Structure 1
Amino acid sequence: MITAAQLRAARALLGIDQRQLAELAGISVPTVQRMEASSQVVRGNVDSLMRLLAALDTAGIEVINEGAVSKDGGRGVRLKVAPSVEPLRRKPKLAPARRTRTRP
């Protein structure tokens, strides 16, 4: 499956936050938070895990399981191609308009 560290690394590669990942996967933000707080392998509802993995796959993330072809045989994540997820940029908060007094 996927570890909490892999999940955080995948988000970092995509440049998205937990809220954005939750939206992509169709799961709640608290579910993503619980998954990332796992000590090792992510635990959760099978449907939620499958949605999460499908969303990462669609976004261009390849999950490398332990023992897969790699130099040291460890776990990891990598981009399959350029990410298909455009980071959602938050609009900067603008300062309220200053009122000016008009004199009669």
Structure 2
Amino acid sequence: MITSRQVRAARALLGWTQEMLADEALIALTALKRLESESYKAVNDNTRHQVMKALEGAGIVFLDSDRGRGVLLVTNSSPEQRK
């Protein structure tokens, strides 16, 4: 399950606003604000899934290990892209 911190970090890596993510995930802005809140407000599992799917589609990888949680932005590293 993704956390509010992971969502905020992923948005920061992408340079997206809350409005942009809500549009990409096809969810209401208020639902995204609840998801990103540290107050642990209830969030529909479908909302969480839509946000995760939108972020992963933009190149975000969610990390979860015994050492902690985080996010990684994967970019295309083909030789043509590096030029």
Q: TM-score range by the shorter chain?
A: 0.7 to 0.9
- How far apart in 1 are the matches of 2:43 and 2:8? 16
CA-based RMSD of the aligned residues comes to 1.7
Q: How many aligned positions are there?
A: 76
* Shift in alpha-carbon separation, 1:56–1:26, aligned structure 2, 3 A: same
Q: Alpha-carbon deviation of 1:43?
A: 4.7
1:38 Cα shift? 3.2
Query: CA separation in 2, counterparts of 1:49 and 1:64?
Result: 16
* Inter-partner Cα distance in structure 2 for 1:35 and 1:48: 8
Indicate the percent of aligned positions where both proteins have the same amino acid: 41
Where does the alignment leave 5 or more consecutive residues of structure 1 unmatched? 68-72, 83-104
Unaligned runs of 5+ in 2: 77-83
Alignment of 1:90-101 (within 5 A): none
2:26 & 2:39 partners in 1: Cα distance?
A: 23
Q: Highest CA radius of gyration, 1 or 2?
A: 1
Mapped partners of 1:7, 1:39: distance in 2: 14
4+ runs deviating over 6 angstroms:
none
TM-score, length-scaled by structure 2: 0.82
Q: Given the alignment, which residue of 50, 72, 75 partners 1:81?
A: 75
- In proportion to residue count, which structure has more helix? 2
Which of the pair is proportionally richer in strand? 2
Query: What TM-score do you get using the length of structure 1 for normalisation?
Result: 0.66
- The CA deviation at 1:74 is 1.1
